[in-house]
Amino acid sequence: MKAALALEDGTYVEGKAFGAEKTAVGEIVFCTSMTGYVEALTDPSYKGQILMMTYPLIGNYGVCREDFESDGVKVEGFVVKELCKKPSNYRSEMTVDELLKSYDVVGIEGVDTRMLTRKIRVFGSMKAAIGVGVEREKLIKIARDQPFISDIDLVDKVCVKEPKRIDVGGKFEVVLIDCGVKMSIVRQLLKRGINLTLVPFNFPAKEIIEMDPDGVFVSNGPGDPARVKETIETIRSIAGKLPMAGICLGHQLIALAFNAKTFKLKFGHHGSNQPTKDLETGRVFISSQNHNFSVDEKTLPKDFEVTQINLNDKTVEGLRHRDLPIITVQYHPEAGPGPHDTYFFFDRFVKMLREW
């Protein structure tokens, strides 16, 4: 079955459909990871986006549910150069085509992902549409007419709807504000003897404090952080009363709660090979990242210290409050997929809980 991909600038490319045969819209972004497509497809942070992989062959090791980062596929659409139809891996339970079909998500293969990636790098992320059996001009119009990602509320579509407790008999009790948390984050916290209570992004601060936890963790998630006002207000109410950590969207929300500002990156950071420098030690590590927005360093209050930066564009990758027990990182220390260089962030959080 033929399919096509259209961008808001009028770009139109044809290919072959896989997954669900439907029309889908979203902001197109590229991911530079060579592996980890299962984790990327199921990452809630990609909600509202069409994901394009820069590595040309996708699907060669199949799909294993153990690698899921959530309860299913979260991307709006999937774009690859070549899709492997017959994966070779003893862990594989299904093909990528079967995975996308089971979650009603459309994919397109046989397109020039290198050309599209170069275009996005030059002109920035764009609104896009994948269509099966849709005329050229109509598909371009569909891509153009959709709302910008900054105008869409996405967090409520990927978070828990009511509190969920996970007890591992650990020493610490932590409330995790779920804005679209990856399961790798949950696993890293549980592994360190932390009992978790996941709560929705709009859960009242008063009820969190009444739970009497040892700390609060603010998760990753999709979309524009400025739209997640409920979580920002919750953070403001809790800050200073309990140790707090944030990852990705959580990092941005904590900064916004202290009246800093965020801005949209030209094409975002999506991949598992982003160089990050720790300003205190001088150490450089490779990090896994997935975000379109960044904290504006110039707007940070003097109470915050920038602890890490991205060596590609010098954007903020880590923050620490000078007086309060608050630490954040923009990248994904849990990886999933990616290198394990930054697991130490979770150890720092545990140290903060222990010393509070």
For the annotated catalytic residues, the residue numbers are 248, 332, 334
**Burial class of residue 292 in the structure, from the number of CB atoms within 10 Å of its CB (0-12 exposed, 13-18 middle, 19+ buried):** buried
Has 249 been labeled as part of a binding site?
A: yes
The answer to whether 252 is annotated as binding is yes
221 annotated ligand-binding residue: yes
Please give the Cα distance from 346 to 354 (Å, whole number).
Answer: 12
Residues belonging to the chain: 356
- Residue 285 contacts residue 278 (beta carbons within 8 Å): yes
Do 31 and 51 touch, CB atoms closer than 8 A?
yes
Give the angle subtended at the CA of 336 by the CAs of 291 and 104, to the nearest 5°.
75
SS3 of the chain: helix, strand, coil, percent, to 5: 25, 35, 40
67 HSE (CA, 13 A, CB side): 21
Please tell me whether 324 is known to bind a ligand. no
The Cα–Cα gap between 147 and 293 comes to 17
The response to whether 45 counts as a known ligand-binding position is: yes
Residues flagged as binding site? 45, 221, 223, 249, 252, 290, 293
Residues flagged as binding site for L-glutamine? 45, 221, 223, 249, 252, 290, 293
